[in-house]
Copies of this chain bind each other. A is one copy, B any other.
Amino acid sequence: MKDVAARAGVGLKTVSRVVNEEAGVTPDTVARVQAAIDALGFRRNDSARLLRTRRTASVGLVLEDLADPFYASLSRAVEDVARAHGALLFTGSSAEDPRREKELVLAFCARRVDGLVVVPASDDHRYLSSEIEAGVATVFVDRPAGALDADVVLTDNAGGTREGVAHLIAHGHRRIGFIGDQQGIHTAAERLRGYHEAMEDAGLPVRPEWWTMGPTAPERVRAALDVMLSGPERVTALFAGNNRVTVTAVRVLSGLSRPVALVGFDDFELADLLNPPVTVVAQDAPGIGRSAAQLLFRRLDGIVSDEPTRIELPARLIPRGSGEIPPS
């Protein structure tokens, strides 16, 4: 910029004015500066500009895994909102590792991002409270923050599961199984709660061998299914607590002689092409991302009250066939 000013024979401030298209510069001066800019191939360094402006026009997104379809479409939604607000997006995957989450979050804070959208991997976010006080707007997504009262946008996991299980009950099932992810995961616990509530609402008993929580590895799910599907009190329908469980369940159930109904939490591509097509309770990944990002920018613009906001988005039941199979 100094070179441009020298070549055009003007002050730094005038170059700055031309570059930023500020009014009040003679057309003649503009032309001279522009010529110098073109000749020198000058282009403004936004990093320097932003240092002075005291905002970085960027937001950081920390999630489990950028490659996971759910988070991928959530990311895209966050990106779109950020773009609409003139901000660029940093992304990082925590891989469910609390240390990595913290590392990423602090790296973004050190760059002084204007705001953060975080899918919590850690269950203690007190390390963030000083940052938030320092002015980094933060919105948690998919799961609430641990030990910190902060903005959060999530799916109504319990409600969605309740609806899915009620759907099975409405189709005549009375013995329904539930296979969920590990207890410690907030969404998993909420879905389990929804299962119990739906059964209770219908006045149906729940036997202890009908539900189980744990890793979603295929072997574990198969073993759990074996238990549920044997004996005189075996289940006639299954609610799968997430995507991976659903897929394993489809594999196992397709090998059985008598049909077992299935509803899964989380939609997935080609669910309608399977045999039978899989009924699911779908989360709105773009909707969650969009809400979170919008809330973030409302915070940045100081539009929202200081009170932490909690937004819960409904899940949607999509009947496709597997959930409408009657009890055998």
Contacts and interface: CB of A to CB of B under 8 A. Distances in A.
B68 A134 contact: no
B273 A41 contact: no
A256 interface: no
Nearest to A109: B43
A50 interface: yes
Contact of A72 (B72, B92, B107): B72
B79 A72 contact: no
A74 to B, nearest CB: 8
A258 B36 CA distance: 71
Contact of A88 (B45, B66, B107, B286): B107
Given A51-B51, A65-B76, A68-B72, A247 B268 contact: no
Contact of A112 (B47, B110, B274): B47
A45 B112 contact: yes
Interface string A110-132: 11100000000000000000100
A294 interface: no
Interface string A76-115: 1001100100001111110000000000000111111000
A44 interface: yes
A22 interface: no
Contacts of A56: 47
**Which of A269, A273, A275 is the most central at the interface, judged by chain B CB atoms within 10 Å of its CB?**
A273
A43 B110 contact: yes
A47 B73 CA distance: 29
A319 to B, nearest CB: 19
A79 B51 contact: no
A134 B43 CA distance: 10
Nearest to A251: B273
A83 B51 CA distance: 24
Nearest to A243: B269
A184 B173 CA distance: 54
A90 B92 contact: no
B89 A91 contact: yes
Given A41-B134, A45-B110, A270-B269, A76 B69 contact: no
A110 B67 contact: no
A322 interface: no
30 contacts: A41-B133, A43-B109, A43-B110, A44-B110, A46-B112, A47-B111, A48-B51, A66-B72, A66-B75, A66-B76, A66-B79, A67-B69, A67-B72, A67-B73, A67-B76, A68-B72, A69-B69, A69-B72, A69-B269, A72-B75, A88-B108, A89-B90, A90-B90, A90-B91, A247-B270, A268-B269, A268-B270, A269-B269, A270-B270, A273-B274
Interface of A: 41, 43-48, 50-51, 56, 58, 65-69, 72-73, 75-76, 79-80, 83, 88-93, 107-112, 130, 133-134, 247, 250-251, 254, 268-270, 273-275, 286
CB-CB nearest 3 A-B residue pairs: A72-B72, A67-B76, A67-B73
Given A67-B75, A88-B108, A274-B274, 6 more contacts: A41-B130, A45-B110, A46-B111, A89-B92, A90-B91, A91-B91
